[in-house]
Amino acid sequence: MTRKEVILDRRRIGALRRAAAFSTLLVAVVAAACSSSSPTAAPSPAATAAPATATATPNTPDDVSYHSAPDLEKLLPTSLGGYALERASQRGTDLLDPGRAFTDMLANLGRSLSDFALASASARGLKAEIGIWRIAGANDKDLVSEFIKAIQGSSNTPLVVGEMTVGGHPVTRIGEAGQLTKGPIYVYLKDGLLIFVETTDPALAEEALSKLP
């Protein structure tokens, strides 16, 4: 293998990893929010997905930009829990099949994938994920309620939902310990954006939210 081929292969591997991260972000939040009777290690997204829900699958990595919403990426922290975070973003039209729960959410808001963009920050080994969703043209008052509805619709059991202040933000916490495989989801609305953290560690939730706008 030539040096050029090695570089291209490394780039492709990196793109595939980013594609997996986006798949996980969508699946974990609205397509694989299946309940767990105890806080065991999280299964793979495919294993936890509800039977009628498909995994989000980006287009071929060579054809997709993973920094298509840089304005959203800039709102994300660069570190969390001692880990350096990798930030990336993607348009909804680059997702081949984001899942029924998610597309139903967009339909309920009168929107489509062309109105959607997301940014995420994560790190290998870190038990937390941070995301920002933008759904252009959606009514702000419906965003959080539809977000909750989409997650609840993909869960095997009723999720506990409560209001609290974490990291200086008034947030809605979806799920409690043991109910979601990757931990409770803390979400709030800011300037028309859905901003959320999913983690099993309350300390990471506090730190992450304190670093968000």
Structure tokens at 133: 């969703």
Domain tally, the chain: 1
- Please list, residue by residue across 4-24, b when 16 or more beta carbons sit within 10 angstroms of its beta carbon and e when fewer do: eeeeeeeeeeebeebbebbbb
What does the pLDDT average to over 31-40?
Answer: 40
Domain that holds residue 23: 3-210
User: Read out DSSP for 121-155?
Assistant: EE-TT-SEEEEEEEETT--HHHHHHHHHHHHHHT-
Q: What is the DSSP letter of 58?
A: B
Least confident of 2-11, 62-71, 149-158, 198-207: 2-11
Contact 185, 142 (CB under 8 A): no
Spatial neighbors of 20 by CB under 8 A, at least 6 apart, are none
User: Mean pLDDT across the stretch 55-59?
Assistant: 39
Range 187-212 average pLDDT: 97
Kindly give the interhelix angle for 100-108 and 140-153, rounded to the nearest 10 degrees: 150
Count the residues in the chain.
213
pLDDT at 80: 97
The pair of structure tokens assigned to 95 is: 């997702």
What is the mean predicted confidence (pLDDT) over 67-82?
A: 95
The Cα–Cα gap between 138 and 45 comes to 28
* Tens digits of residue pLDDT in 87-137: 999 899 887 677 788 889 999 999 999 999 999 999 999 999 999 999 999
> Average pLDDT in the 178-201 region?
94
CA 38/CA 43 separation, integer angstroms:
13
pLDDT at 156: 81
CA distance 178 to 160: 11
Distance CA 127, CA 150 (A): 22
